[in-house]
Structure 1
């Protein structure tokens, strides 16, 4: 008889910081490096928006190596005889094709085909998975797993995470005695007991993520910090990483889409096809949540489309309304930035699907200059996502610089 082992692993007790948010295992090192004192709430944890100058931190991602604390991410472990079946029922991709020791970008939907969240799925063994995501999913995972022989554990407080990103990131690992020259993108390795390293990240550059128990977090930080002293290693906050991820063409929950479980209005939900992620939906695999709705959606033209725009000029188009042929409102920018490395003014934008396939788009940009708002109608063109795709991000073995 099938059963479900409802194993609830309570996160480690979190000591509130002086800001009233929980400290992560790396907080002492981040606090000591902070000159900006610019902190933010990330899933109830204290996280730096910036430790110093955002521009300096961004250019460190693209020219050196950086450390970013990803411990606040929600992390769930799914194990047991039916683990693959449960995870395959959850996500829209076919997990059976994901080999042990590999990572995949995944998303999952409700019964109406609306995206609940996206994240990375680590296959640690034949029936052993870890799901990392932005939104709390513990209750939803149990709903999906009802009747299956699996154990589900919330590992959020029991696994510390550190993103090491940038062109010298592997050189830092090498100097720290953790060289992984044969690790391919989206691969997983365990160079030492208790330390898992994946070649993943949110920067679009060469990079790694390191996962370990919280009690070893500060020792790992110090080890990398010493190893990276001559390689430009710098700690960064979210603001710099946000620039990098837009430049790389990576979407983010809460910006490019509203997770449907958090939305107050069903109309705020978005399907994978509307987000331009229809290639992540595998209709040929066994049943998964939202399959019927997504099959119907695949057979028709989406109502709206998430695209990337190349916008005239250098003025940041954050929050801009987008018009078709200068008259009809066609959508709005969800995230925007002047891409410093690519030297292009870009934005993610949610547009009416017909407008997304047409020319004649203009972005209405307002800029505050000396107490006065100036309005610009800048021409915009739909382009492929991601204006920064360096070969070094995929090179195996990676270059030293």
Structure 2
């Protein structure tokens, strides 16, 4: 263990944070005034505002308006250091993190690696479906959607053309609902102007949900209203159905029904993304790390986990707190307080989740919100919920410029029914090349 990454030596305690999501960012901020060295490690050099990834995927906002460089976020925090690297393993006995740029010592290690897409062991699905967990995923989906319509213009065979124009979304949570609504708005208001030669009555959007209602975890009223909105948009909702297989062209459900599509969007679940080197008995079934009330990983004194990767088991939350931004941010902020208390020899404060509610938007003027304000539950749907959703997401985007760009994009889209980010740039997802099955018009 001699190849150490170059980081300024200091006599101060070093807090190493793995992952720059909501939890990691809040922790680093909360240590601004602490007498420590904060080292953030991430494989990207920017923070991503994940709740708006679906809007990047559906050309609603620009990709760079929902990301912000870590170095810019913390430019005025003197005790902050960032390293662009992949974490390969941790050696808890020696208090060392092995990364792609070398070894990094720590006094306190905080794992904030978040979650990744859960395909439930279905390798075929993993190879052929598209998820929306990263900026690369969102851009790939946007490119694929646009590329499919360009290809559809060259196809005479009805079945093949429809396979390029139809979309299957698996998972009826907020991501699935929001993607379905956004695709409907593109179908109804945008694509017919771009692709005048195509008949968009042939574009079918399917949302497949394994349970009996949408937006599990929100109120029944929210789920039913979201279903009502989507049905009014013309989404084909298939409830109590599971996708058994998808080979890149044919979707097979558990009841034997089949659908043809070249684009299956997977929004059916996530799993924790632990790092190598943590003792197996500390890792729970969903790949989350079991933590105590202070976010300390069970079995360790100097290793902590926050956000989606952390499973804090309580009587009220037997599976841990929901994998949402609010629990992650609150855990990050409190852990900063507790680390300062720990180093000062003061008692730690147990985590108490302040649930502010949940929201989801289905489209223009249509959203659902279950809010918790002043110890009261407020359930609202429609235009008012949509305004709340926009306001909360707008102020949560990191960076004034990004907020301004998102606001301008939303305003332009609202008044013109036009999304200005319909660009094919970078990679796209192609399962079965059309050329292998149907000749182009030019070749006939």
TM-score of the pair, normalised by structure 1: 0.28
Which structure: greater helix fraction? 2
Which structure: greater strand fraction? 1
| Structure number with larger C-alpha Rg | 2
